């Protein structure tokens, strides 16, 4: 049974292009399946999360991270009485707009676009993917997703100002997104804060002592595990402590969001949308713990000297390829040259680069600029 404040699929605002109902899948289930079968979703498997494949191929990539976010999101949504199908779809599509090379690639692409008076936003790019770039249906361009999924792509992580983004006016920018969308940014944080500790430890870039000293919530759970399993090897104690840390984040998000909903007297989706602030949130205590873990990762992993050469290569490759195609647009594939007749050349180049996987952009760099220098 769904809560009164959940999104009910029968009340969906529908698709841009009306379609007859499916005999045994509701509209959000169909959207989930369309995302999974899209080319952009498949390409996540070859896009960096933190570690590129040149470092190792057994760490998380964008696709495995996305699956973890979907799993956590479904669990929380079910406990809160939310629409699990919608939540799962939003989790699966939330990173679909990311370029190659993780945040280094995103930073470089945004920097390149700003030299042209433009910018790159992965949420807006994700909307372009599902609205236009995916070509699977004869009746329309894109995936023709429901309004609620398209709204969640835009609004799951932050609010856009209607005055600055008039092209997004249809997405109710003066209202909060449904709780199903509000969850995604928080479950994303749960997933990567714990997973990056795991991958950093496995990569020997973070030592157990460093994590215990720098992440107090992990240390508390590690001490508990050490009392229960005093003879276990360090790796298994690490796993048990990390599992308990993840469970604390999930349990707190469920309990605190439930409490905020009750305290605000929320009983309908309309009340969620018109509430002055987002309702999905961690408690103050756990939010402080989350921020400590995130800060630790920024200081000790994301800007690790070991990963710096990879990041430098990523930023240089994106920047140099962008500049190359700006100077030599004839070297773009025919379909992108055609698009440049209708849209600005920088945006077309940005779209092309953003859709690339890590290995494909390396191939393009080798082909056009002679490889890594």
* pLDDT tens digits, one per residue of 235-281: 999 999 999 999 999 999 999 999 999 999 999 999 999 999 999 99
Secondary element (H or E) of residue 75: helix 62-80
Question: Domains of the chain, with CATH numbers?
Answer: 9-308 (1.10.3210.10)
Percent of the chain with pLDDT over 90: 88
Write down the pLDDT at residue 158: 87
d(CA 288, CA 282) in angstroms, rounded, equals: 9
Average pLDDT of the segment spanning 89-104: 94
> What 8-state DSSP symbol labels residue 15?
B
Coil, strand or helix at 178: coil
From the list 158, 163, 164, the residue with the least C-alpha distance to 177 is: 158
What whole-number distance in Å separates Cα of residue 140 and Cα of residue 126? 17
> What are residue 146's phi and psi, to 5 degrees?
-65, 160
Task: Please write the tens of the pLDDT for every residue from 165-216.
Answer: 999 999 999 999 999 999 999 999 999 999 999 999 998 899 999 999 999 9
pLDDT number for residue 125: 95
Residues 6+ apart with CB under 8 A from 261: 5, 179, 279
pTM for the full model? Answer: 0.94
């Amino acid at each position: 049974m769904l809560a009164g404040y959940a999104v009910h699929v029968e009340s969906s605002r529908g698709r841009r292009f009306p379609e007859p109902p499916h005999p045994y899948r509701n509209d959000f289930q169909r959207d989930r399946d369309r995302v999974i079968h899209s080319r952009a979703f498949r390409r996540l498997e070859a896009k960096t999360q933190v570690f590129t494949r040149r470092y190792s191929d057994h760490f998380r990539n964008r696709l495995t991270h996305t699956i973890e976010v979907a799993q956590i999101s479904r669990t929380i949504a079910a406990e809160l009485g939310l629409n699990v199908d919608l939540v799962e779809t939003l989790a699966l599509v939330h990173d679909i707009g990311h370029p190659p090379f993780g945040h280094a690639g995103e930073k470089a692409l945004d920097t390149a676009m700003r030299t042209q008076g433009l910018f790159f936003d992965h949420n807006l790019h994700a909307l372009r993917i599902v609205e236009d770039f995916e070509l699977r249906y004869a009746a329309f361009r894109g995936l023709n997703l429901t309004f609620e999924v398209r709204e969640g792509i835009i609004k799951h992580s932050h609010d856009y100002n209607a005055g600055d983004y008039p092209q997004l006016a249809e997405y109710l920018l003066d209202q909060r997104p449904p709780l199903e969308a509000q969850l995604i940014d928080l479950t994303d944080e749960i997933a990567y804060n714990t997973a990056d500790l795991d991958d950093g430890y496995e990569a020997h870039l973070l030592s157990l002592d460093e994590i215990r000293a720098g992440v107090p919530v992990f240390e508390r759970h590690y001490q508990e595990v050490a009392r229960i399993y005093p003879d276990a090897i360090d790796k298994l104690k690490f796993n048990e402590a990390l599992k308990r840390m993840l469970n604390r984040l999930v349990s707190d998000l469920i309990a605190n969001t439930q409490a905020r909903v009750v305290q605000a007297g929320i009983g309908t989706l309309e009340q969620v949308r018109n509430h002055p602030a987002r309702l999905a949130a961690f408690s103050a205590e756990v939010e402080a713990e989350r921020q400590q873990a995130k800060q630790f990762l920024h200081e000790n992993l994301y800007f690790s000297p070991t990963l710096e050469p990879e990041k430098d290569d990523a930023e240089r490759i994106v920047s140099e390829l962008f500049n190359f195609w700006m100077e030599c647009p004839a070297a773009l594939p025919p379909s992108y040259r055609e698009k440049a007749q209708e849209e600005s050349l920088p945006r077309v180049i940005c779209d092309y680069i953003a859709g690339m996987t890590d290995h494909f952009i390396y191939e393009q760099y080798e082909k056009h600029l002679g490889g890594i220098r």
